[in-house]
């Protein structure tokens, strides 16, 4: 059974940093692209970033480029999102998600975690 468990969310001041983690199990983690998606309170889903299988390539939404860094540790089956220079508009539930295609390239999410809440406020 595929399981994705996010952690690391919490309250942080504007300009601060936070690192989210996503512990994965139930599949060959290194073979799949992994994605972070966020949802601000009362808003729709927003794609944030993706890392290809084995970490060869990373891509970011313009809204987080230069501030967020996605990475993975395939030996620990864990996905990360390092978030720096946080702003109030980064307040959201952050979801970790697994791609369905074993090519390692993003072709569509099939499994989602339950999410972790990040609140940026003074």
Partner 1 sequence: QTVVTQEPSFSVSPGGTVTLTCGLSSGSVSTSYYPSWYQQTPGQAPRTLIYSTNTRSSGVPDRFSGSILGSKAALTITGAQADDESDYYCVLYMYSGISVFGGGTKLTVL
Q: Out of 3, 28, 103, 114, which residue is the one contacting partner 1 (CB under 8 A)?
A: 114
45 binds partner 1 (CB under 8 A): yes
Residue 119's DSSP bridge partners are: 11
Whether residue 109 contacts residue 34, with contact meaning beta carbons closer than 8 Å, is answered with no
46 binds partner 1 (CB under 8 A): yes
Whether residue 83 contacts residue 91, with contact meaning beta carbons closer than 8 Å, is answered with no
Q: Shortest gap between Cβ of 75 and partner 1 (angstroms)?
A: 25
85 binds partner 1 (CB under 8 A): no
For the chain, the C-alpha Rg in angstroms (whole number) is 13
76 binds partner 1 (CB under 8 A): no
Q: What angle do CA 41, 47, 51 make, to 5 degrees?
A: 135
Residue ranges that bind partner 1, judged by CB under 8 A: 35, 37, 44-47, 50, 57, 59-61, 95, 100-101, 106-115
């Amino acid at each position: 059974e595929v399981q994705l468990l996010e952690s690391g969310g919490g309250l942080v001041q504007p300009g601060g940093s936070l690192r989210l983690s996503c512990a994965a199990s139930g599949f060959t983690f290194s073979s799949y692209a992994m994605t972070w998606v966020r949802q601000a309170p009362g808003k729709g889903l927003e794609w944030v970033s993706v890392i290809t299988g084995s970490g060869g390539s990373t891509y970011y939404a313009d809204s987080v480029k230069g501030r967020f860094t996605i990475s993975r540790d395939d030996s620990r089956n864990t996905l990360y999102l390092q978030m720096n220079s946080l702003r109030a508009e980064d307040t959201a539930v952050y979801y970790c998600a697994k791609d369905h295609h074993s090519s390692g390239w993003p072709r569509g999410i099939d499994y989602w975690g339950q999410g972790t809440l990040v609140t940026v406020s003074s």
